[in-house]
Amino acid sequence: MAAVSPAKRARKEANSDDMKEAFPDISPIAYRPDAPADETLVFRHYNPSQQVMGRSMQEWLRFSVCYWHSFRATGLDPFGGPTITRSWDDGSDTLENAKRRMHAAFEFFAKLGNKYWTFHDRDIAPEGSSWQETNRNLDEMVELAAQLQKQHGIKLLWATCNLFSHPRYMNGAASNPDAHVFACAGAAVRKGLEVAHKLGAENFVFWGGREGFQTLLNTDLNKEMKHMANFFRMVVAYKEKIGFKGQLLIEPKPKEPTRHQYDYDAMTVIAFLKTHQLDKHFKLNIEPNHTMLAGHSYEHDVVMASAMGMLGSIDANTGSPDLGWDTDQFPMDVKAATMVMKTVIEQGGLQPGGLNFDAKVRRESTDPRDLFIGHVGAMDTMARGLKAAARLIQEGTLARAVQQRYSSYKSGLGHKISNGTATLEDCEAYVLKHGNPSVTSGQQEHYETIFNHYVHDLK
Ligand code: XLS
Ligand code: NI
Ligand code: NI
């Protein structure tokens, strides 16, 4: 008897009618700007085809749903077990369960109306008892994903490898003191890149999971960082070998899970990449929740990475500043969204990156509809941010004020400083002639009031 090819089997499974709907009570989310305030399953601001500064909202925002929080999280925390159960998930680690989950996920994407998704290798396929079996499991799930992507018109924003959950990675992956563990990370990423290529991923992410240390006493810093750089060189070489065109991204994060993380924040990662001449191959995936954990303001790393030409993508979420750990909440703050979208517009968009909701519903939000509401509310927040930022940029009020603030660099000595031709002697000659400068107000409150006007007087 001829064996059924995995692709054929996946096609059959993708179309099978006996698959029960996961969200029977939810219809595709509609754009209804005048819906009453307590209707939270409608878009009031996100209107995918609406043009904003020459581009549709959908093109500016490039929303993506992440698999790990939305289809693997159970509400488990260090003090208590799962609170969230789903009709399609029996909690087992079987391929059948993984497939049911994937059908539910694509039904979710289709009803929500986002065009992208993201996953870790282990989110979609269970680890087997050998590397061979693990890879076979992944291949089988990737066949199904390819079919479902096609069927629903969904694309892969990025894929990544989970190099932090398994105990073998407890002392790090590419920075592990044991070369055998390094090799495991290399093998996983080789397979991950192959799979990303197959599914047409537009990016590939590295979040440094356990790349860091708990104590300097047992750590050879230089060795570990050099090994990480060598790991990334292997990634570039393999990417080029297979012709994968996706953008490589590194996601900075401080203090979780290790006491010190090598990819602490945007500037740390950029310095690392430049030190090892890797900066032309990588950009950054900035997660504001991590930025806040690093002690910066919400938008800080988005703005900083963009200023250095290194902003590739955004994990659109937020933390609670009063808690101080990675709570991965849905972004619901219009002001913060406006700051982020201002940067995105100013750099001409995020493509091939996007806004990936690396966010989970609260442990107490146990209904499947909460999963929709979280995403819908966050999409509307980012859409409001986009509209507010567009108005702020188009009217130019802030930009004109900032330009005026730096006007002394337009001519004379200021111009020479700006173009790098001034000397210390020039500075002294200027000061001897003109004496001391008068103080000039920084007008912070003036700027904040202008900004508020665009955020809150939204038409
Ligand atoms: C964890 C990270 C993780 C990455 C992907 O804090 O945010 O979810 O986005 O590995
Ligand atoms: Ni993230
Ligand atoms: Ni995170």
Rounded CA-CA distance 374/3 in Å is 43
Q: Give pLDDT, residue 321.
A: 86
Q: Would you state the structure tokens that stand for residue 72, as one six-digit string?
A: 């693997």
Domains identified in the chain, total number: 2
Same structural domain, 256 and 382: yes
Same structural domain, 416 and 361: no
Last residue of one domain, picked from the residues 349, 364, 395: 395
Helices (H), 278-348: 288-293, 300-307, 334-346
Last residue of one domain, picked from the residues 369, 395, 421: 395
Within 10 angstroms of residue 379's Cβ, the number of other Cβ atoms is 26
From atom 2 of ligand 1, which residue's Cα is the shortest distance away?
207
Which CATH number is 286's domain given?
3.20.20.150
Of all residues in the chain, what percent carry a pLDDT higher than 70? Answer: 95
From atom 3 of ligand 1, which residue's Cα is the shortest distance away?
207
Same structural domain, 251 and 316: yes
pLDDT digits (tens, 9 = 90+) for 375-419: 999 999 999 999 999 999 999 999 999 999 999 999 999 999 999
Same structural domain, 43 and 94: yes
Is the Cβ atom of 263 under 6 angstroms away from ligand 1? Answer: no
Is the Cβ atom of 315 under 6 angstroms away from ligand 1? Answer: yes
Within 10 angstroms of residue 400's Cβ, the number of other Cβ atoms is 10
Last residue of one domain, picked from the residues 366, 395, 424: 395
Same structural domain, 361 and 451: no
Q: Give pLDDT, residue 7.
A: 60
Is the Cβ atom of 160 under 6 angstroms away from ligand 1? Answer: yes
Ligand 1: distance of its center to the CA of 294 in Å? 15
DSSP lists the bridge partners of residue 204 as 159, 248
List C-alpha distances in Å: 248 to 229, 236, 311: 14, 8, 11
12: confidence class by pLDDT, cuts 50, 70, 90: low
Same structural domain, 146 and 179: yes
pLDDT digits (tens, 9 = 90+) for 409-456: 999 999 999 999 999 999 999 999 999 999 999 999 999 999 999 997
Same structural domain, 308 and 419: no
Is the Cβ atom of 121 under 6 angstroms away from ligand 1? Answer: no
- Position 2 in a domain: no
- Position 128 in a domain: yes
Range of the domain at 131: 7-76+87-395
Ligand nearest to the CA of 315: 2
Is the Cβ atom of 313 under 6 angstroms away from ligand 1? Answer: no
pLDDT digits (tens, 9 = 90+) for 86-125: 999 999 999 999 999 999 999 999 999 999 999 999 999 9
- Position 108 in a domain: yes
Is the Cβ atom of 207 under 6 angstroms away from ligand 1? Answer: yes
- Position 355 in a domain: yes
From atom 8 of ligand 1, which residue's Cα is the shortest distance away?
358
Q: Mean of the pLDDT values across residues 226-241?
A: 98
Q: Mean of the pLDDT values across residues 149-174?
A: 98
Same structural domain, 325 and 424: no
User: Quick check: 208 pLDDT over 50?
Assistant: yes
- Position 401 in a domain: no
Q: Give pLDDT, residue 2.
A: 46
pLDDT digits (tens, 9 = 90+) for 247-292: 999 999 999 999 999 999 999 999 999 999 999 999 999 999 999 9
Backbone angles phi, psi at 173, to 5 degrees: -105, -85
Of all residues in the chain, what percent carry a pLDDT higher than 90? Answer: 94
16: confidence class by pLDDT, cuts 50, 70, 90: low
Same structural domain, 326 and 350: yes
Rounded CA-CA distance 90/274 in Å is 47
User: Quick check: 160 pLDDT over 50?
Assistant: yes
Q: Would you state the structure tokens that stand for residue 221, as one six-digit string?
A: 């810093």
Same structural domain, 245 and 308: yes
Q: Which atom of ligand 1 is nearest to the CA of 164?
A: 10
Same structural domain, 305 and 433: no
- Position 402 in a domain: no
- Position 1 in a domain: no
Same structural domain, 107 and 37: yes
Window from 18-27, 32-41, 105-114 with minimum mean pLDDT? 18-27
Ligand 2: distance of its center to the CA of 67 in Å? 12
Q: Give pLDDT, residue 1.
A: 41
- Could you list the active site residues? 120
Backbone angles phi, psi at 30, to 5 degrees: -105, 160
Q: Give pLDDT, residue 456.
A: 78
Mean pLDDT, the chain, as a whole number? 96
Q: Which atom of ligand 1 is nearest to the CA of 253?
A: 6
- Position 431 in a domain: yes
Q: Enter the pTM of the model.
A: 0.95
User: Quick check: 28 pLDDT over 60?
Assistant: yes
User: Quick check: 205 pLDDT over 80?
Assistant: yes
